[in-house]
Structure 1
Amino acid sequence: MEGSTTKDNLPSKPIILQSHNLKKYILETSVYPRETEILKELRNATASHPWSHVAAEPDSGQLIAMLLKLLNAKKTIEVGVFTGYSLLLTALTIPHDGKIIAVDPDRKAYEIGLPFIKKAGVEHKIDFKESPGLLVLDKLIEDAWNKESFDFAFVDADKDNYWNYHERLLKLVKVGGLILYDNTLWSGTVAWPEEDVPRHMRKYWQAALAFNQKLADDSRLEISAVSIGDGLTICRRTR
């Protein structure tokens, strides 16, 4: 009988997990029931945007919120904001006097989420900078007060610059702090041979492969690559 188990309690035939159905189950069982109403409103407002698929995923957001709380994070950086789902989530999670430097060159997308940020009463925590990420990070590094002063960073921006962001964030995030990178599994294609990867995805596929290998080789970190959302790699700075 299909799906029956052997004496070793293993399936006698392979069970194919339908990833879409599994993700739907996780969202409907564990994520959406605990998602705050204001985050749900922003997620729904983002759904009609032509680039809605690049927004931070709510299951990733749930993990990010837990990590922020475990870390007692107060001072954070976000590179890549889009409409601000992860930004709003962070602002709701950190203390009243916490601060987030949020960087994105697309202010129009940020302004979609701004009414929800204001409605939640957390705009005072956010310092939004309309700029490419590297320019802001370099400027922060110039000020000695910023070095090793941040508890947490989240990056969801141009994938071919991830390593450039990484080297700068290691100067800004304190030892013991966390840096999270989104989309590191690139729709699962990092496990595919190149000929199977759609051509329009290959540029960032190659970037993801190179970045993941560099992280694996980086002795300054502890890392955990989590198969959640589109892949979330958690880095803890150790030195």
Structure 2
Amino acid sequence: MAINNGEEQQNQLIGDADLAHKTLLQSDALYQYILDTSVFPREHPCLKELREMTEKHPRNHMAIPGDEGQLISMLVKLINAKNTLEIGVYTGYSLLSTALALPSDGKVLALDKSREYYELGLPMIEKAGVAHKIDFRQGLALPLLDELLQDENNKGTFDFVFVDADKNNYLNYHVRMIDLVKVGGLIGYDNTLWSGSVAAPPDAPMMDFIRNLRGYVIEFNKHLAQDSRIEICQLSIADGITLCRRIK
């Protein structure tokens, strides 16, 4: 939800789960125009099926929207990625977007603590013919990342990383990601505008889950802005995505 000075908007909860879409655009009509004109007509049939299935799930707020999936696909292709990593899978819309964009011999290592949600989307992944590109590993991400880092051969090998998991661990993820992604590689962190709360006063009305994690997101954004090892670009697509290109 956009933050502005209107009385009606100020009285509305930041992070209201009943929002019609997950974007900071102030116009529903403009966002729908983007979807209807540029996103949905080009959406892979299996992505559409997965998106529509996920929309009916009680925790559908965890899924990325179609326009963000389109961005991920474009980025993977632009940098000619072959070896990718994803933290936080849910039902797999971003995972399928990545897998479809990868070449036939490309790989995506997918980490999530829940196999149940992943298996909801697995039939669509298999139907799309890209299941062979995916190595899904269940468990907490930090121990799995530490395990990867124990092998020197894994350092600097990932072309692209997408992170959309617990926001209170974003900084911990970044400490590890910077060693796993190659120089010139790209990391995308989702939800870095956190429903617009990062620019709201501390006493602004907001959902509890937004307020509880707001400080972590603000701290993380400050860290990225000062990290000399990366170039950054924070985009207002969806709930905010920050792209980090490792330069050293």
TM-score, normalised relative to structure 1? 0.91
Return the alpha-carbon distance in structure 1 between the equivalents of residues 130 and 236 of structure 2. 30
In the other structure, the counterpart of 2:81 is: 73
Segments of structure 1 that go 5 or more residues without pairing to the other structure are 1-16
Structure 1 runs (4+) greater than 3 angstroms displaced: none
Per-residue CA distance 1:168-187 (angstroms, 9 max, x = gap): 01110000000000000111
Per-residue CA distance 1:54-110 (angstroms, 9 max, x = gap): 101111111111111110000000000000000011000001111111000011000
In the other structure, the counterpart of 2:222 is: 213
Map 1:1-239 to 2 at 5 A: 18-200=26-208, 201-239=210-248
Following superposition, the deviation at residue 49 of structure 1 comes to 0.7
Following superposition, the deviation at residue 188 of structure 1 comes to 1.2
- Secondary structure in structure 1 of the residue aligned to 2:203: helix
Return the alpha-carbon distance in structure 1 between the equivalents of residues 120 and 95 of structure 2. 12
| Higher relative contact order, structure no. (Cα contacts within 8 Å, ≥ 6 residues apart) | 2
Return the alpha-carbon distance in structure 2 between the equivalents of residues 199 and 109 of structure 1. 24
Segments of structure 2 that go 5 or more residues without pairing to the other structure are 1-24
Report the identity percentage: 58
Per-residue CA distance 1:41-64 (angstroms, 9 max, x = gap): 000011111110110111111111
Following superposition, the deviation at residue 21 of structure 1 comes to 2.5
Return the alpha-carbon distance in structure 1 between the equivalents of residues 65 and 55 of structure 2. 12
Q: CA RMSD in A?
A: 1.0
Return the alpha-carbon distance in structure 2 between the equivalents of residues 191 and 59 of structure 1. 23
Change (3 A) 1:211 1:112: same
- Secondary structure in structure 2 of the residue aligned to 1:204: helix
Per-residue CA distance 1:180-212 (angstroms, 9 max, x = gap): 000001111111111114150112111111110
Counterpart residue identity of residue 178, structure 2: L
Following superposition, the deviation at residue 27 of structure 1 comes to 1.1
Per-residue CA distance 1:99-124 (angstroms, 9 max, x = gap): 11100001100001000111111111
Aligned length: 223
Following superposition, the deviation at residue 23 of structure 1 comes to 1.6
CA contact 1:189–1:197 (8 Å) conserved in 2: no
Counterpart residue identity of residue 231, structure 1: G
Counterpart residue identity of residue 70, structure 2: Q
- Secondary structure in structure 2 of the residue aligned to 1:83: coil
